[in-house]
Structure 1
Amino acid sequence: MVDELMMDRMHEECGVFGIWGHPEAAQLTYYGLYALQHRGQESAGIASIDEMTMHSHRGMGLVTEVFGGDRLKGLRGHAAVGHVRYSTTGDSRLANAQPLVFSYHQGNMALAHNGNLVNAMTIRDRLERQGSIFQSTSDTEVVAHLIARGGYPTVIENVRDSMAMIKGGYAFVILVDDALIAMRDPQGLRPMALGRLGDAYVVASETCAFDTVGATFLRDVEPGEMIVITSEGLHTERFADASRKALCTFEYIYFARPDSDIDGYNVHMVRKHLGKILAREAPVEADVVIGVPDSSISAAIGFAEESHTPYEIGLIKNKYSGRTFIQPSQELRNLGVRLKLSAVRKIVDQKRVVMVDDSLVRGTTSARLVTLLREAGATEVHVRISSPPVKHSCFYGIDTSAREELIASQKSVDEIRDFIGADSLAFLTEDAMLSAFGVERGKPHGFCNACFTGLYPTEVYQTNKRALERQVKV
């Protein structure tokens, strides 16, 4: 089991990358996945197509570990798809690493996806009763079976028909013998962007991957859109109507890299704006503002600028700590926070400190960080969270705790403050958070805030809750 620090953060399921029309497709996919590594560190994989032959390699670990040595040399071809994974649906094991690769009556196919299919259990049960045999516990394989069993003469038609059957939040890349297919769910819960690299087309979960490989951003893939790239060029169509756009706000708050642009908003600028709003909504007299590395730094800078309080690096992250495991004694478990984060004593000693963090899930990490700062000499520790309280589980591709383990669903703000040992604690309201995107109070918006409000953008959660609770890793 991973330690409590790992469990007290939200995790995105994965990142996807695809490229068509480049002689070094696999190598560029490797670099694209390296840029998306923050979206998943459990496994990585690449599949490429060389005329009618598909090559693939996947493994457990980081991109650099999975593709060490000469692993990339065998991935020949002009097109490739890649994937980095953090498991939410399905166990953390090699069988669930992606892309999933198949050979069937219509040719070769490699699938990779970011997100969660909320009706996957229902579809899988039906397919198994009809004779399908599954090799993994990943919901991605459900889509592969639907495509393979399709009754249309072309792969594209079968993909379109299959996507109409699934519900949830997802960004898919599918590589077949003669096409690269990219799709985004009808609500746009998960991000996906389209780019160009010379004569090649590129798709990725985030635009930071384009910067890494030297591609030019063209546009975001629209909710409910299917992009098909072949030797004849790019074709786009709708496989579903985008009835209600609901992009996950946690992409901006925590998951995405600060240098990425998603649906027209730069992640760093949104986080910085959230920090400014937080300073206006919950001011406090302090000597220094610090952020919890890495995702909270932008919000901390914004808080410091708005409050006219010096910003300092008060917590240092050990980038080489990797995963730590639960030790046999409480004393050794408590050392886990020091393996990952340490306080800069000269910065916080005898200071009133504002610690800005992007979210508070179970509260154990915040409690340990407050203790760490006090041990380093801080006279006061005021915690400011640049998002609303997380009160509900996510069913669309984010690994959240069960609702009863979410501290904000069980305790008031004052009770949470006492639990983490802070002198004061404040969160953003939902309206304040949305104002960072220019949304006026009470006005319609295109974001999913279900983890804060319990209002889910699809009806499947309400009708299939028990299956979802079995499906989602908590």
Structure 2
Amino acid sequence: MEDSRGFDDFDSEADTLHEECGVFGIYGHPDAAAITALGMHALQHRGQEAAGIVSFDGTRFQSERHLGLVGDNFSDPATIERLKGHIAIGHTRYSTTGATILRNVQPLFAELASGGFAVAHNGNLTNGLTLRRRLVAEGAICQSTSDTEAILHLVARSRRTRFLERFIDALRQIEGGYALVSLTNKKLIGARDPLGIRPLVLGELDGHYILASETCALDIIGARFVRDIENGEVVVISEAGIESHRPFPAQPARPCIFEYVYFSRPDSVVNGRSVYGVRKAIGATLAEEAPVDADIVVPVPDSGVPAALGFAQAAGLPYELGIIRNHYVGRTFIEPTQAIRALGVRLKHSANRAVVKGKRIVLIDDSIVRGTTSVKIVQMMRDAGATEVHFRIASPPIMYPDYYGIDMPDREKLLAARMSLEEMRQFTGVDSLAFVSVDGLYRSLGEKNGRNAAQPQFTDHYFTGDYPTTLTDLMGERTAQLSLLAEAG
């Protein structure tokens, strides 16, 4: 879903991870757009910079795409009234490569020879740049800088007869991690990449089928969870009901393990596992692997809360809210500008001095990316009077960048990739530092023997360097760079 401007254009200063987007779709409901807007509210955590809905009323397609939050753009009854129809899809977006612009806001829509077609995409195509260059060379006129647009072109250019065959023909040409929700004048179509890296679920509301990134989007509208869309599966929802297609060779699923560590909402169930339960289990595993003599356990809110609860319970230590998060900062501060970021920690987090002063604390966070935010939070605890600060991280060290839909810096900017554990401890200014092990993370997910090196159960390359697919665009850039160096020599 990210802008296809290359792999080196990530925000050079950000110290948090972002999942690019959430998708939602419903078929056959008279209030399709209103329900889609509600579902998008539940998926707001997956992207806060833009939102869009496309609907179909039996005659015409309607589209509303806006910069900003779902609530700021889709709470007006007049907006929903313009989105008439019984089929709708929606998208919440996070931009990773510079300013969000309206032409990149999804769902993207095009009039094809077979009729209108809209698509919303969560993830990232690892051959998106390669496809785009080929399509442009062949005469395609691109209206956005999003890799998602390549899917529209591939469907339009397919020589297959039936639309579903054209759609599957396009899927066979794309690589990477993706969950797609698409709309035609007759069908709602969902697709999940062959490894199931990005999540997608099927729900049902009063006999009407729903597709969504997470189960929390079903809960908000009172829908029933039916099942996960399986890896490599394409589902087609129409008047005839629902049908399933499996156009790819069968292979074991490898869902993104970071959905459990950080991205999914705690009340979601991902691939049959409670996100909240997994995060608590990770905390318990941390207490087992890296015990510490301390007085209280303090989470870095909000993502560190479940793991801190698990750690405290397993260690027999009091759990205290030593850091208070301000939930009313205002969305202006999500914009990736340096002036705002410089204030970010103080604006979003405050020390609870009465709890922290004079205490040896165990600080629990979900991850360390660059480490700059960690340094500020640790210093905040010191300034509040903590006598000792022991840092425990509910994920293994992030050693490698991601190319499947996570906003992550280049490897040389990842703290764990350029420092030893002791160097990281000194850099963050803590008395002790420990990460949950890769095996411990797997055990927390119910894999009793930890990670199976021969057949990993999850996509975990950010910790291990084991990328599950070919990184076509990245390899192409490296080949071009090597070629230039050879010519220069």
- TM-score normalized by the length of structure 2: 0.92
8 Å CA contact 2:441, 2:450 repeated in 1: no
**Aligned with residue 415 of structure 1, among 411, 420, 423:** 423
- Cα–Cα, structure 1 residues 456 and 74, in superposed 2: closer, same or farther, change >3 Å? same
8 Å CA contact 1:170, 1:189 repeated in 2: yes
- Cα–Cα, structure 1 residues 327 and 22, in superposed 2: closer, same or farther, change >3 Å? closer
Counterparts of 2:154 and 2:245, CA distance in 1: 20
The equivalent of 1:373 in structure 2 is 381
- Cα–Cα, structure 1 residues 59 and 24, in superposed 2: closer, same or farther, change >3 Å? same
8 Å CA contact 1:90, 1:139 repeated in 2: no
The equivalent of 2:172 in structure 1 is 164
The alignment status of 1:445 with 2:456, answered yes or no, reads yes
The alignment status of 1:8 with 2:19, answered yes or no, reads no
The equivalent of 1:458 in structure 2 is 469
**Aligned with residue 57 of structure 2, among 37, 50, 74:** 50
State the shift of 1:323 in Å: 4.1
Counterpart of 2:324 in 1: which secondary structure?
A: strand
Task: Report matched runs for 1:354-393 at 5 Å.
Answer: 354-393=362-401
Give the length in aligned residue pairs: 464
**Aligned with residue 29 of structure 1, among 33, 36, 60:** 36
Counterparts of 1:54 and 1:152, CA distance in 2: 24
Amino acid at match of 2:321: I
8 Å CA contact 1:5, 1:336 repeated in 2: no
Counterparts of 1:160 and 1:211, CA distance in 2: 30
**Aligned with residue 151 of structure 1, among 149, 159, 163:** 159
- TM-score normalized by the length of structure 1: 0.94
The equivalent of 2:113 in structure 1 is 105
Counterparts of 1:426 and 1:82, CA distance in 2: 40
Counterpart of 1:82 in 2: which secondary structure?
A: strand
Counterparts of 1:457 and 1:271, CA distance in 2: 24
Counterpart of 2:442 in 1: which secondary structure?
A: helix
State the shift of 1:6 in Å: 7.5
8 Å CA contact 1:81, 1:173 repeated in 2: yes
> What are the superposed Cα offsets for residues 82-113 of structure 1, whole Å, 9 maximum, x if unpaired?
00011246852111110001112110111001
The alignment status of 1:64 with 2:67, answered yes or no, reads no
The equivalent of 1:245 in structure 2 is 253
Structure 2, unaligned stretches of length 5 or more?
A: 1-10, 482-489
The alignment status of 1:131 with 2:135, answered yes or no, reads no
8 Å CA contact 1:90, 1:96 repeated in 2: no
The alignment status of 1:81 with 2:92, answered yes or no, reads no
Counterpart of 2:297 in 1: which secondary structure?
A: strand
8 Å CA contact 1:90, 1:138 repeated in 2: no
State the shift of 1:209 in Å: 0.3
8 Å CA contact 1:186, 1:225 repeated in 2: yes
> What are the superposed Cα offsets for residues 244-286 of structure 1, whole Å, 9 maximum, x if unpaired?
4211111000000000001110000000000000000000011
State the shift of 1:157 in Å: 1.0
The equivalent of 1:264 in structure 2 is 272
Amino acid at match of 1:183: A
The alignment status of 1:118 with 2:126, answered yes or no, reads yes
The equivalent of 2:326 in structure 1 is 318
> What are the superposed Cα offsets for residues 282-335 of structure 1, whole Å, 9 maximum, x if unpaired?
00011110111111100000000000000011111111213436566xxx9654
**Aligned with residue 25 of structure 2, among 18, 28, 34:** 18
Counterpart of 1:447 in 2: which secondary structure?
A: coil
The equivalent of 1:173 in structure 2 is 181
Structure 1, unaligned stretches of length 5 or more?
A: none
Amino acid at match of 1:13: E
State the shift of 1:438 in Å: 2.1
- Cα–Cα, structure 1 residues 468 and 378, in superposed 2: closer, same or farther, change >3 Å? farther
Counterparts of 1:14 and 1:289, CA distance in 2: 32
State the shift of 1:68 in Å: 4.1
Counterparts of 2:132 and 2:259, CA distance in 1: 29
Counterparts of 1:118 and 1:468, CA distance in 2: 15
Bigger Cα displacement from structure 2, 232-241 vs 442-451: 442-451
8 Å CA contact 1:183, 1:225 repeated in 2: yes
Counterparts of 2:34 and 2:98, CA distance in 1: 28
Amino acid at match of 2:30: P
Counterparts of 1:323 and 1:360, CA distance in 2: 24
8 Å CA contact 2:13, 2:338 repeated in 1: no
8 Å CA contact 1:31, 1:212 repeated in 2: yes
8 Å CA contact 2:378, 2:428 repeated in 1: yes
Counterparts of 1:13 and 1:326, CA distance in 2: 18
8 Å CA contact 2:130, 2:473 repeated in 1: no
The alignment status of 1:435 with 2:439, answered yes or no, reads no
**Aligned with residue 361 of structure 2, among 353, 356, 361:** 353
Counterparts of 1:310 and 1:397, CA distance in 2: 37
Task: Report matched runs for 1:291-310 at 5 Å.
Answer: 291-310=299-318
State the shift of 1:464 in Å: 2.4
